[in-house]
Amino acid sequence: MVINYTEVEVRYKETDQMGVVHHSNYLVWFEIGRTNFIKQIGLNYAEMESGNVVSPVIDAQLSYKKPARYGETVTINTWLDDYDGVRTTYGYSVKNEHDQLLVTGTTVHVVVSKDSFKPVLLRKHHPDWHGIYTSLINEGQ
């Protein structure tokens, strides 16, 4: 399984008055991890968008185990969880410096036309992405 490990230092602005990371910031961290995962496997999201398509999130699931706190460095682990040719699901886990699990989650994405927002097939518009994702899933990711 290919996993991307991205470290993020918890910034003060990401926390509440108690020094605990606000729950919404985990989605931002998921995006950072996802972008780095895509780069790691040799793809480029900006190049995909240049083909007049985008890949919005259609579902996000998060499970909070333990809070991240100001001053910590966390690691976002990101992997390809599922791909069926239409939907792409990324998996995530966030751990602190002591390897304690803080958050787990997934995001589900589809590829749509930037103009109409109608779904398009990744294998048609970006066969390289389709090939890499299919290969990763078939290898038992």
Active-site residues: which are they?
A: 16
Contact 10/71 with Cβ under 8 angstroms?
A: yes
Going by their DSSP bridges, the two strands 87-95 and 53-54 should be labelled as unpaired
Alpha-carbon span 48 to 33, nearest angstrom: 17
- Residues 6+ away with beta carbon under 8 Å from 117: none
Strand partners for 79: 91
Q: What angle do CA 54, 59, 62 make, to 5 degrees?
A: 125
